[in-house]
Amino acid sequence: MKAIELKHPIIEHKLAILRDKNTGTKEFRELIGEIATFLCYEAMRDAKLEKCEIETPIQSIKTAKLNENNYTFVPILRAGTGMLDGIIKVIPNAKIGHIGMYRNETTFEPVNYYFKVPKDTENREVIIIDPMLATGGSAVDAIEHLKNKGAKKFKFLCIIAAPEGIKRLEEAHPDVQIYCAHIDEYLNENKYIVPGLGDAGDRIFGTK
């Protein structure tokens, strides 16, 4: 499945502020959440609704609702948690899991240190969130862990993606649809996305 890139003037505007090295922690964190909300809306275009009947102040009508219990959000720690507030505004009753990974700065491969997901996640659609899809290593490993737990249906949401990361994720898990706010140019020798926005985790939490 081809990666879906959000193309909208408001997204481009917010990304320009997000990328700016002079943007402060508070504004950066807020923008990550706002863009995550847009991504979640886009990712839910194919959501299945369940028929129901409700009473408006005027009359009863037949309509449809989302069964929010059918979804699990899984941020990849730590930067993925920066997207969580924006995501749960769309589906506030979804279950939430966590996968902890950090990058080995020598091999550039992910090191796993934490895995906790809700029971029955195998029966829900799993939406994995991480601001940056760089090498794709963390995304590929996270999905592999979840598949080993029985999960079957996935989407991956990120703010910025590199072509290399998209290629690696698509090759490893062709059943996973990728949604991103922007596809950037390439990875540099240190495996950072160019032009990118720096280290998303450090900028979200103000640790550099």
Closest CA to 178 of 38, 45, 3: 3
The pTM of this model reads 0.91
Select which of 29, 37, 85, 199 is catalytic. Answer: 199
Tens of pLDDT along 32-55? Answer: 999 999 999 999 999 999 999 999
Token pair 């997901």 is found at: 117
- Short-list 134, 130, 152, 138, CA closest to 81: 130
**Catalytic, out of 25, 107, 120, 175:** 107
Active site residue 29: no
Q: pLDDT tens digits for 126-185?
A: 999 999 999 999 999 999 999 998 999 999 999 999 999 999 999 999 999 999 999 999
Per the DSSP assignment, residues forming a β-bridge with 110 are: 103
Please confirm, yes or no, whether 20 is among the known catalytic residues.
no
**19 is annotated as an active-site residue:** no
Tracing tokens 């700016």 back to the chain, one arrives at 20
State the angle between helix axes of 25-43 and 9-19 in degrees (0 to 180), rounded to the nearest 10.
150
Please check whether the domain covering 4-205 is classified as CATH 3.40.50.620. Answer: no
Identify whether 184 is a catalytic site residue.
Answer: no
Q: Which of 19, 29, 37, 202 is catalytic?
A: 202
